[in-house]
Chain A
Amino acid sequence: DAKTTQPPSMDCAEGRAANLPCNHSTISGNEYVYWYRQIHSQGPQYIIHGLKNNETNEMASLIITEDRKSSTLILPHATLRDTAVYYCIVWEKGGKLIFGQGTELSVKP
């Protein structure tokens, strides 16, 4: 079973920041948090990952709480092309990714 829980859906206005939450209360000390997104019927796209520090790249920012039990993916200026299903995944030893249901983000004009 997936180690993460996410809201099933969220809306965001175009141009505003999209903040996608994820709970991973049973995460272990050396397990990374990964975020992927999947645009309809395409392969999942890697976005960002982190262990305990906040991370930022050209796509997004990842904020991980100090106790590591939750995290938030931030898309700073959402566009219509960011409409997708976003998956938060705890990387488990051995390398298999266990996907949950994800959050369906709808960016609206």
Chain B
Amino acid sequence: DAGVTQSPTHLIKTRGQQVTLRCSPKSGHDTVSWYQQALGQGPQFIFQYYEEEERQRGNFPDRFSGHQFPNYSSELNVNALLLGDSALYLCASSSGGLRQETQYFGPGTRLLVL
């Protein structure tokens, strides 16, 4: 049973560029949440997708956007990259949208903005 997968594993971009990160949820899961983890900090919630719609959003600017596909996979897009966007981006999958269900995390994508 494949767990949550993310691609790419590492990425280097320059300020002002745009980036797209991808996530495939664990088999049987239909809900994807994205988190940002800066160095030395705990993960911070960005947003959650369920039934191809953004259901919840954390305190992140509109430069951060996402999408969920019919097969439940998801993308995180960040526009106009800033140095402060350098972080580990984590995807977590669960089932049932807003229901209380365990979230399982992928290995993350390490983004470095120069």
Please list the residues of chain A having a beta carbon within 8 angstroms of any beta carbon in chain B.
2, 32, 34, 36, 41-46, 49, 87, 91, 93-102
Contact = CB atoms under 8 A, between A and B. Distances in A.
Q: What secondary structure prevails in chain A residues at the interface with B? A: loop
B101 A95 contact: yes
Contact of B102 (A42, A49, A99): A49
Given A87-B42, A95-B56, A96-B56, A44 B98 contact: no
Contacts, number: 63
Contact of A44 (B31, B58, B90, B110): B90
Contacts of B48: 94-96
A101 B42 contact: yes
Interface of B: 4, 31, 33, 35, 41-45, 48, 55-56, 58, 88, 90, 92, 94, 97-108, 110
28 contacts: A2-B42, A41-B88, A41-B110, A43-B4, A43-B90, A43-B105, A43-B106, A44-B43, A44-B90, A46-B102, A46-B103, A46-B105, A49-B102, A93-B98, A94-B55, A94-B56, A95-B31, A95-B48, A95-B98, A95-B100, A95-B101, A96-B45, A97-B33, A97-B35, A97-B45, A98-B45, A99-B35, A99-B42
